[in-house]
Structure 1
Amino acid sequence: MGLFDLLSANRSENLFLPAHGRGNALPKKIKNLLKLRPGIWDLPELFEIGGPLIREGAIAESQKSSAYEVGVDRCWYGVNGATGLLQSALLALARPGQAVLMPRNIHKSCIHACLFGGLVPLLFDVPYLSDRGHASVFDKKWLQSVFKKVKEFEEDIAAVVLVNPTYQGYSADIESLIKEIHSHCLPVLVDEAHGAQLISQVSPDLPKSAISFGADLVVHSLHKSAPGLVQSAVLWSQGDKVDPFNIERSIELLQTSSPSSLLLASCESSIKELIESKGIKKLKSRIEEAKLLKDFLINKKVPLLKTSDPLRIILHTSKFGLSGIEVDKRFIKKRIIGELAEPGTLTFCLGLSSHKRLGKRFVRTWNEILTSSGEQKACFFKRPPFSIVTRPLKPFTYSWGSNFEKVKLQDAIGRISVEMVCPYPPGIPLLIPGEILDEARVEWLIEQKCFWPEQISDFVRVIC
C-alpha cells in the first residue's frame, strides 16, 4: 500500500500517538482551519504573523499569552517536536566542555545535543523493574547518592536533566528532585514530553507539572499528551538561572527559519485546550472513560501495569512469558494498533479521543493470544550493567568522528563505540559514542539483541 493510501486509511482502533486520535480530538479551531481551501493556511513569517523568535506579530502575542496563562516567564513554540526544543534548551544551559548530568533513560535527542554542543554527558543509573524491563523513577535519596558520586569526576557541571513522566507514564516526586538540584545551585531542565496534560491539574490524584515546582526549563510535546499535530511542541522558561538570549540563540541554530504556520497554530490551540474550561472538561471525560476501561480489563483478568498516566494502558506480556513485540503483531492483525512494543510490555495510548467499544475486542484478542501461546513461565530481565554515574571514556565529538570498523558484538570487548545503539521507540540509548564495551556490557547487549531482534544489530562500529 502506498503512502497516500496509508494516510487516508482509517480502519483500525488507533491506540498510538498523536493523542488527537487521527483527528477525532483536534481542537475545533484547527478542524475549522483544515476545512478551508487546501493550503490557505500555508503561510510564511508575514509581518502580521511573525514567528517564535520575532518580537512582534500574532505568534509573539500568542506565546506571551500562553506563558501568562500557565504562570511562567517565557515560552517558545516549536515545529521540530520536543526533540528540537530539548536540544535548544541543553545548548542554552551549557558551554562546550561543560558536563550535563542526565539519567540513563534519557531520550537520544539529548545525547545528540551533547554532540552538537561539545558537552560531556554524565549519565547516572536509575532504578530498574526486572519483571517488565522498564527504567523506573528515583527519589531524593537516590539523587543525593548520584551527586555524591559525581564529585569524583571533577567535571564542570552546568545543569541537570530529568525525564518525568516516562514514556510508560511513571512519575517521580518531581518537587523533591528539583529542590535537591537547586540546592546544588544548578538549573534543571525537565523533559516532560509525555506530560503536557499535567498543566491542566484536572485531578488531585494526578501528578503536577514540573512547572509548578520551579523547574527552570520544561519541554512539552504537544502531540503526545495534548491534541497538537505531530512536531508541535513548547519550551517553558521561568526564573533567572537561564538567559533567554541563550535560549533564543540555540533555537535559531536548530529550528527551521521557515516554521509551519499550521504547526504554530496547533501549538496555540492545543495549549488552550489544556488550560481553558472546555478543554479541561473534555480531558476529565476522557480520563473517566479510561478508568472505566481499565477496570473492565482488570476484571477480565487482563494483566495491566499501574502507572501515573490514566490515558495509557500497559499490557504486562512478560508476566505470561510473552514478548510485547510479538504480542503487538497479533494485536495489529486484529486492527488494534498500539504505541510502544517492548520485550516485556505493550503500551497503548488512549489519547484524547473516545474508545467506548474497545473493551470487549481487547479482551477477546488477548485471550486468543494466551490460548494459542499455551502456558509459559513469567519472564524476568537482567538489570543493565551500568555504574551509578558514568561518562564516555573518549570525548564525545572525537568518538563520533573517528575512523571506525565494524565488528561482531562478541568481538567488541575492550573496544570503544563510535555509534549509538538505541531501539526506537522508546529511543533510549543502550550505548553511546565514546563508551567502552566491557565484557558485562557486551553480554548484556547480546541479550538485548535477542529481545529486540529487528532493532539491534549483530555488529557494532568501534574506533579503529
Structure 2
Amino acid sequence: MGLLNLLSEDRSENLFLPAHGRGNALPKKIKNLLKLRPGIWDLPELFEIGGPLIREGAIAESQRSSAIEVGVDRCWYGVNGATGLLQSSLLALACPGQAVLMPRNIHKSCIQACLFGGLIPLLFDVPYLTDRGHASVFDRKWLHRVLKKANELENDIAAVVLVNPTYQGYSADIESLIQEIHSHSLPVLVDEAHGAYLISQIRPDLPKSAIYFGADLVVHSLHKSAPGLVQSAVLWSQGEKVDPFKIQRSIELLQTSSPSSLLIASCESSINELIESKGIKKLSSRIEEAELLKNFLINKQVPILKNSDPLRIILHTSRFGLSGIEVDKSFIKKGIIGELAEPGTLTFCLGFSSHKKLGKRFLRIWNEILTSFGQQKSFLFKRPPFKMVSKPYKSCSYSWGSNFEKVNLQDAQGRISVEMVCPYPPGIPLLIPGEILDKARIDWLIEQKGFWPEQIPDFVRVIS
C-alpha cells in the first residue's frame, strides 16, 4: 500500500525524469490508450503484433517506418532501457578478449557488458571541470592522442564508444569525433541516451544527433530525452561496419522474451513526437520557454551554468560553497524535485512539460537557501587521478567472479577491486572490477566519500 500511495501522489513541480513530467507530456495516443479499460493494452506477442525481433507484425512495421523516417538502415525498440541496448550493442561490436575504447564518464551498463561479454574496457580520460566536479567534452585533437595511446596499449581494439550529450547536457563537436574514429577504420557506438530529441533538428544552433554524422550505432533513452515511458529505448543502426544479425542476436540474449506491448507502443509514439510536425512544434515551444526561464534566473544572479541542452538547468551550488546534495533537500522541502544532485551542482530536467510559473518560485527558494546557509566561499574539486588510457590489471570477468574480502578503503592499496564504486545517479563508475587501488586513487576516493557520504562506502571488496 505504501508504494501505491507514493505512485499516486501528485507532486507540485516535477523537474526530474522521465521527461513526460508525471504524464503531463505523454503523447496523446498513449494518454488515450491508458484511459481505456485497465490492462487492455497488456498483450503478448500475438501474430498481428509481433515483437522487436520478429520480422512480421505491427512492431516490425513500426520499426521499419521509424528507421526510414530518421534516415537509418535499421532500428530496434527496447523495453529494458538504454542499458539493455547499449549492452547489446557492445556484444555485437566485439568478441570475447577484444578491447572497446570508452571514456571514463561511461555509464556503468557498458562496464557490465564488458564483464559478462569478456570484453576489455579500455578507458580514456576526459577533460574535467574542477569548479563543479563534472566530466567535460573533448575535441578531435584530444581523441587523436587517446587513439594513439590506446593502440600502444592494445592491438586488438574492436570499437569506440562515445557519450554525447552528457547527463548534465554538455555536447561536443560529435561530427569531428566520429570522423576521427572512422579514419582509424573503427565502428563507433554513441550513447545518446540524453539526446533523443536531437533527431528533431529544430534549430541550427542546437546540437545534432550523431545519427546525422554517420555514427554506426546510436542508442536513445526515450524516457530521458523524449516523452516515452520509463524503460522505453531505441537502437539505431546504419552502414556496413556492424552486422545486423549480431545486433539482433545480442538483443535476444539480453532482452525479455515477453516485451511489454505498452512500452513498445510508447517507443513508437515518443519517436513520432520527435519527427512529426505537431510534436516538433510542441518541443520547440518547450525549448523557447526553457530559454526564457534560464535567462530570467541568470539575470537575477542565480548561478546557472552554461550547457548545450536548453531543457536542463544546472544550478552551480559550489560557487557559493554549498553541496548540491544538501541544496536538493531544501528544494524538495519546498516542493521542487530535481533530477541529479551532485557535490557541486543540482541539475533540473524540465522535460517536455510546461513550467511557465517556475521562475519566480525557483528564485524565491534559492534566495531562502542562501539566507539559511549563508553565502560561503566557493570550492574546487580535485581532478581524478586517471591515466590518459588504461585497462584493468585483471579482466573484469575474472575479478568479478573471484573470491573476495572486504577491506577498509584506506587499507586497500595494491589490492584489486572485484566491484564497481559508482554513485547513482549519475551511474558513472569511479572504480571498476580488475583495477588496482593505488595511493592516488584511494586518496581521491576518500575525498569523494566526503562529498558522497551515502554513496561511497568505507570499505571496498577486493580479490582475496
The 5-angstrom pairing of residues 332-371 of structure 1 reads: 332-371=332-371
Question: Which structure 2 residues correspond to residues 265-280 of structure 1 after superposition, within 5 A?
Answer: 265-280=265-280
Residue by residue over 1:421-445, the C-alpha shift from the partner in whole angstroms, topping out at 9 and shown as x without a partner, is 0000000000000000000000000
| 1:174 corresponding residue in structure 2 | 174
Instruction: Work out the percentage of aligned pairs sharing the same amino acid.
Output: 86
Q: CA separation in 2, counterparts of 1:164 and 1:130? A: 20
Partner of 1:80: 80
3-state SS in 1 of match to 2:61: helix
Structure 2 distance, partners of 1:463, 1:384, is 23
Partner of 1:29: 29
Counterparts of 1:185-196 in structure 2 under 5 Å?
Answer: 185-196=185-196
> Where does residue 40 of structure 2 map in the other structure?
40
**1:314-373, Cα deviation, whole Å (9 max, x unpaired):** 000000000000000000000100000000000000000000111111011100110111
What amino acid sits opposite 1:67 in the alignment?
Answer: A
Q: Deviations over 1:152-197 (max 9, x none)?
A: 2133100000000000000000000000000000000000000000
Structure 1: runs of 5 or more not aligned: none
Structure 1 CA distance, aligned partners of 2:103 and 2:181?
A: 13
**Cα deviation code 1:46-99 (max 9, x no counterpart):** 000000000000000000000000000000000000000000000000000000
Could you say what secondary structure the match of 1:456 adopts? coil
Displacement of 1:374 in angstroms is 1.4
Structure 2 counterpart of 1:281, which letter? K
Q: C-alpha distance in 1, partners of 2:229/2:31?
A: 11
> Do structure 1's residue 228 and structure 2's residue 231 form an aligned pair?
no
Letter in 2 for 1:143: L
Cα distance in 1 between the residues matched to 2:174 and 2:375: 40
For residues 398 and 60 of structure 1, what CA distance do their matches in structure 2 show? 39
Aligned twin of 2:245: 245
Is 1:429 equivalent to 2:429 in the alignment?
yes
- The aligned amino acid for 1:22 is R
Aligned equivalent of 1:309: 309
Shift of 1:11: 3.0
Q: Does the aligned pair in 2 maintain the 1:98–1:155 contact within 8 Å?
A: no
Take 2:419 and 2:155, find their aligned partners in 1: how far apart are those partners? 23
Give a deviation string over 1:257-305, Cα, whole Å, max 9, x none.
0000000000000000000000000000000100111111111111000
2:463 alignment partner in structure 1: 463
Task: Identify the residue that residue 156 of structure 1 maps to in structure 2.
Answer: 156
TM-score for the superposition, normalised by structure 1: 0.99
CA distance in 1, matches of 2:294, 2:55: 47
Corresponding position of 2:449? 449
Counterpart-to-counterpart distance in 2, 1:283 and 1:402:
49
1:275-294 correspondence runs (5 A): 275-294=275-294
Letter aligned with residue 254 of structure 2: L
C-alpha distance in 1 between matches for 2:154 and 2:333: 54
1:214 aligns with 2:214: yes
RMSD (Å) for aligned C-alpha atoms: 0.6
How far has the Cα of 1:376 moved from its partner? 0.9
1:382 maps to a residue whose letter is K
Are 1:15 and 2:20 an aligned pair? no
Letter in 2 for 1:307: N
8 A contact 2:106–2:428 mirrored in 1: yes
Task: Read off the aligned partner of 1:215 and give its amino acid letter.
Answer: A
Name the counterpart of 2:63. Answer: 63
Q: State the alpha-carbon separation in 1 of the partners of residues 11 and 421 from structure 2.
A: 34
Specify the SS of the correspondent of 1:41: coil
Q: Which amino acid aligns with 1:177?
A: L
Structure 1 residue 375, shift from structure 2 partner: 2.5
Q: Deviations for 1:379-426, whole angstroms, at most 9, x for unmatched residues?
A: 100000000001000111110011111000100011110010000000
Corresponding residue of 1:262: 262
CA contact under 8 A between 2:99 and 2:154: conserved in structure 1?
no
Deviation readout 1:138-158 (Å, 9 max, x if unpaired): 000000110111122133100
Residues in 1 aligned to 2:6 and 2:103: alpha-carbon distance in whole angstroms = 37
Q: Which moved more, 1:439-448 or 1:150-159?
A: 150-159
1:104 equivalent in structure 2:
104
Query: Could you state the TM-score of these two structures normalised by the residue count of structure 2?
Result: 0.99
Rounded to whole Å, the distance in 2 between the matches of 1:331 and 1:375 is: 17
Corresponding letter in the other structure for 2:119: L
Q: Which amino acid aligns with 1:457?
A: P
Instruction: Give SS of 1:67's match.
Output: helix
Distance in 2 separating the partners of 1:374 and 1:206: 37
How far is the alpha carbon of 1:12 from its aligned partner? 2.2
2:93 & 2:457 partners in 1: Cα distance? 34
Q: Matched residue of 1:425: which SS?
A: coil
Q: Deviations over 1:223-282 (max 9, x none)?
A: 011000000000000000000000000000000000000000000000000000000000
Give 1:386-425 correspondences, 5 Å limit. 386-425=386-425
